[in-house]
Amino acid sequence: MNKYLEELEKKSIAIIREAKAQFKNPAVLWSTGKDSTATVWLCKKAFFGKIPFPVIHIDTSYKFPEIYEFRDKIAKEWNLNLIIAKNEKALKEGMSPEKGRLECCTALKTEALKNLIKQRKFDALILAIRRDEHGIRAKERRYSPRDENFRWNYKDQPAELWDLYVKPSEDFSHMRVHPILHWTELEVWQYVVQEKLPVNPLYFAKNGKRYRSLGCMPCTVPIPSTANTIDKIVQEIKTSKTPERAGRSQDKEKAYMMQKLRALGYM
């Protein structure tokens, strides 16, 4: 095993175990992308093969068919306690990306998850975000408290000195736990190779294009690429100057700002 990856893995497993010990009712979020699949795998390793909490998949109903196929196959093979969060009410009322990307994401992702948290009383959610994904994610900590509206105050976060992850005061609705925050995109792929993890076929190039980040069908575009194997993907990432989420039109920060500017009358 690669020493460096071993260190990353150790740290992640420690965070996951710590979360399980500190919270009564945790769960892990799984989009079926490489990061969350690696995180679910780390959860499996942390508890010797059987994850002792549910795995949540948020289904917007606008995802690629490959995502649903992959989800169902792996959930069965890995014996996951899979919960699917879906905002049926919003879908019935016709919510779609055409109504606005931010509005759609809020209804089909955020609200779906909010409802599930409320219903199942989850107090901690394990998420596969990484600091190198986006500027705002670089400000995240391993333990990130959220209020009932999912608001996050990055200026008021618990200190994480000497890798001690302490549950702050009771002043939060649920805790976000980020076990792979310190990983990079390349390291995740190297880990996928090392652990021989299953990979969603959307990541592999077909007709000169592949998906580098997986989201909903209307809001995700492939990047030009010829990388049709994991080794080629690793090679491509080593030399790429394109941001990982370049193919994701759903930039929440941008969409939020657009909404604010509209409200102020700029647009």
Partner 1 sequence: MIILALDALDLHQVKKFTCKNLMQKEHGQTDLSDFKQARTVVLWASFLTGKNLEAEIPIKTQWKYKVKPEQTFLKFFKTYKTIDVPAFSYKQQNHAEERKLLKGYFEDKATIEGCDAVVWRNHKENKKEFLECLGKFDLIMGYFDLADFIGHLSFGIAKKMAEVYNELDKLAEEVKDADDFVLVISDHGMKAVGRFGDHSRNGFYSFNHKLGLQLPKITSFHNLIRRIADEHA
Which residue's CB is nearer to partner 1, number 49 or number 135?
135
The residue (of 21 and 264) whose beta carbon lies closer to partner 1 is 264
- Residue at 242: amino acid letter: T
**CB environment 198-217: b (16+ within 10 A), e (fewer):** bbbebbbbeeeebbbbbbbe
Q: Is residue 254 a contact residue for partner 1 (CB under 8 A)? A: yes
- Tokens standing for 193? 């190779």
Distances (CA, A) of 155 to 4, 139, 141, 144, 232: 31, 9, 11, 11, 40
CB nearer partner 1, residue 4 or residue 256: 256
- Output the smallest distance, CB 124 to partner 1, in A: 25
The smaller minimum CB distance to partner 1, of residues 162 and 266, is found at: 266
Residue partners of 234: CB distance under 8 A and separation at least 6: 186, 189, 190, 193
- Nearer to partner 1 by Cβ, of 166 and 246: the residue is 246
If one asks whether residue 258 binds partner 1 (CB under 8 A), the answer comes out as yes
In the complex, the smallest distance separating the C-beta of residue 76 from partner 1, rounded to whole angstroms, is 39
DSSP one-letter code for 108: I
In the complex, minimum distance from the CB of residue 253 to partner 1, in angstroms, rounded to a whole number: 4
Asked if 205 contacts 229 with a C-beta cutoff of 8 angstroms, the reply is no
Could you tell me the smallest distance in angstroms from the CB atom of residue 246 to partner 1?
A: 12
State how beta strands 174-177 and 124-126 pair. parallel
Which DSSP string corresponds to 196-213? T----GGGS-BTTEE-SS
Stretch of 112-120, 209-217, 219-227, 253-261 lying at the interface with partner 1 (CB under 8 A): 253-261
Contact 70, 40 (CB under 8 A): no
Q: Is 96 exposed, middle or buried (0-12, 13-18, 19+ CB in 10 A)?
A: middle
Give the contact letters, 117-156, x = binds to partner 1 (CB under 8 A), - = no. ------------------xx--------------------
H or E element, residue 12: helix 3-22
**Shortest Å, Cβ 134 to partner 1:** 9
Residue 224 engages partner 1 in binding (rule: CB under 8 A): no
Helix (H/G/I), strand (E/B), else coil: 150: coil
Q: Which is nearer to partner 1, 135 or 224 (CB)?
A: 135
**Positions in 156-185 near partner 1 (CB under 8 A):** none
Which segment (4-12, 176-184, 226-234, 250-258) binds partner 1 by CB under 8 A? 250-258
256 binds partner 1 (CB under 8 A): yes
Q: Judged by CB under 8 A, which stretch of 87-95, 105-113, 156-164, 252-260 contacts partner 1?
A: 252-260
Residues at the site binding partner 1, with contacts judged by CB under 8 A = 135-136, 253-254, 256-258, 260-261, 263-267
